[in-house]
Amino acid sequence: MRKQIRWYFMKKSQETRLNILQKAFELIYQKGYQTTSVDEIIATTQVTKGAFYYHFKTKDEMGLAILNELMIPNFKNNFIQPFQTEGNPLDTIYNLLHYLLMESEDLKVEYGCPASNFTQEMAPWNIDFTKALNNLSLDWEKTMIDSIEKAKVDGVLKSDVNAKEVAVFVISGYWGVRNLGKLENSKSVYLIYLKGLKNYFESLK
Residues 6 or more apart in contact with residue 23 via CB below 8 angstroms: 41, 44, 45
Give the mean model confidence (pLDDT) for residues 116-144. Answer: 82
- pLDDT tens-digit profile of 36-87? 999 999 999 888 898 899 999 999 999 889 988 998 899 899 999 999 887 8
Q: Cα separations (Å) of 87 from 92, 99, 170, 179?
A: 8, 17, 18, 30
pTM: 0.83
Look at residue 118 in the predicted model and tell me its pLDDT: 76
Going by C-alpha positions, the residue among 110, 111, 16 that lies closest to residue 62 is 16
pLDDT of 5 > 60? The answer is: no
Q: Cα separations (Å) of 69 from 11, 33, 140?
A: 17, 17, 18
Give the mean model confidence (pLDDT) for residues 160-189. Answer: 94
**Greatest C-alpha distance within the chain:** 67
d(CA 41, CA 23): 7
What b/e readout covers 60-91, taking b as 16+ CB neighbours within 10 angstroms?
eebbbbbbeebbbeebeebbbebbeeeebbbe
If you ran DSSP here, which 8-state letter would residue 81 be given? Answer: G
pLDDT of 8 > 50? The answer is: no
Lowest mean pLDDT among 7-21, 55-69, 80-94, 134-148: 7-21
* Mean pLDDT across the chain: 88
d(CA 85, CA 107): 24
- pLDDT tens-digit profile of 76-113? 999 999 998 878 999 999 999 999 999 998 888 988 88
d(CA 32, CA 25): 9
